[in-house]
Structure formats: structure tokens, C-alpha cells
């Protein structure tokens, strides 16, 4: 009986401990860790392989072309130019990235960036342009739209 009680206490403690889980970018263990694509030249592993710090140049921390407007001739009237760790390798482990968002008049975009390699989800595409499509009945209910309007919106993608 006593063994059973100990087991139960242990089990409850483990269950409580495992509910406090969180996920985040790899923490910066050094000042910078310029990401490289090929592991054979790598030094540390911390998120992505790091470039040898003696070979790091200023270019690893810069990007040119953000002055060029994205093409906004699309359904949502906006264009997100995302600069993440793949475009600026020096962002590796820093937990940040940036974006240029161009809007046509009345264009829309929703983007949240809190990671070195965030995904950008365009809500309209994800909801009405998904493949396979979301059941129109669900969209009709969720957005309080007429079924014909949902069909029309799905045909736009």
C-alpha cells in the first residue's frame, strides 16, 4: 500500500512537471553564430551549424534589396518580403527576423515575426485557398457567409 502511494505521488509530480513545457529558438550561447548551409564547414551546432568566427564578414549580417517593392498585383493586394535566417545567416540564434510588407490600396496582410525563421501565413490563402479545400459548410458557419459567397471566394485561388 505504501509503495502504491509513493508511486502515485511520483506519478502526479511527473505529470505536473511535464505540463510546463515551452518551445523557443535556440538560445544564443555566443555573441553570434553565422549559419552555414554545409555541415562539413561547421564548428558548433546551435540551431544551424555556425560559420567559423574567423571567417565571418559584415556581409553575413546584411541584405540588400529591401528597397525594391514587392509585386502587389495579387488577390490580397500585398506582398511580404521576408528576411529570415536563410537570407541573413547572421540572424541565426538571435531569435529575430524582419519583413518588408508592400500594400496596394486596400490591400491586406497579417504577419507576426518572433523567430529567426518564422513561417508567414496569409490568412485569406490559408482559409479559402487551402488544398485540399476546407469544407464550404464549415466556412459558411465560421464566417457567417452565404454558401455562394464561400464558393466564390474559394474559386479566387
Ligand X SMILES: *[C@@H]1O[C@H](CO)[C@@H](O)[C@H](O)[C@H]1NC(C)=O
Q: Is 42 in the site for ligand X (CB under 6 A)?
A: no
Q: Is 73 in the site for ligand X (CB under 6 A)?
A: yes
Q: Is 156 in the site for ligand X (CB under 6 A)?
A: no
| Cis ω before 101 (30° cut-off from 0) | no
Return the number of other C-beta atoms located less than 10 Å from residue 137's C-beta: 10
What span, in angstroms and rounded, lies between the C-alpha atoms of 91 and 56? 13
Site for ligand X in 78-97 (CB under 6 A): 79
Q: Is 70 in the site for ligand X (CB under 6 A)?
A: yes
Closer residue to ligand X, CB minimum distance, 5 or 112: 112
Q: Please choose, out of 42-50, 70-78, 126-134, 147-155, the segment that lies near ligand X by the rule CB under 6 A.
A: 70-78
Q: Is 129 in the site for ligand X (CB under 6 A)?
A: no
CB of 66 to ligand X, least distance (A): 12
CB of 105 to ligand X, least distance (A): 15
Contact 103, 132 (CB under 8 A): no
Which residues sit at the interface with ligand X, rule CB under 6 A? 70-71, 73-74, 79
Amino acid at each position: 500500500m505504501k509503495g502504491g502511494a509513493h508511486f502515485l505521488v511520483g506519478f502526479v509530480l511527473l505529470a505536473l512537471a511535464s505540463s510546463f513545457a515551452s518551445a523557443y529558438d535556440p538560445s544564443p550561447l555566443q555573441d553570434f553564430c553565422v549559419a552555414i548551409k554545409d555541415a562539413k564547414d561547421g564548428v558548433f551546432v546551435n540551431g544551424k551549424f555556425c560559420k567559423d568566427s574567423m571567417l565571418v564578414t559584415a556581409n553575413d549580417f546584411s541584405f540588400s534589396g529591401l528597397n525594391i517593392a514587392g509585386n502587389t498585383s495579387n488577390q490580397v493586394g500585398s506582398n511580404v518580403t521576408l528576411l529570415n535566417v536563410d537570407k541573413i545567416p547572421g540572424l541565426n540564434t538571435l531569435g529575430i527576423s524582419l519583413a518588408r510588407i508592400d500594400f496596394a490600396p486596400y490591400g491586406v496582410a497579417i504577419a507576426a515575426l518572433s523567430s529567426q525563421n518564422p513561417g508567414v501565413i496569409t490568412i485569406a490563402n490559408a482559409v479559402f485557398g487551402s488544398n485540399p479545400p476546407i469544407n464550404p459548410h464549415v466556412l459558411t458557419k465560421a464566417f457567417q457567409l452565404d454558401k455562394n459567397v464561400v464558393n466564390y471566394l474559394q474559386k479566387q485561388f
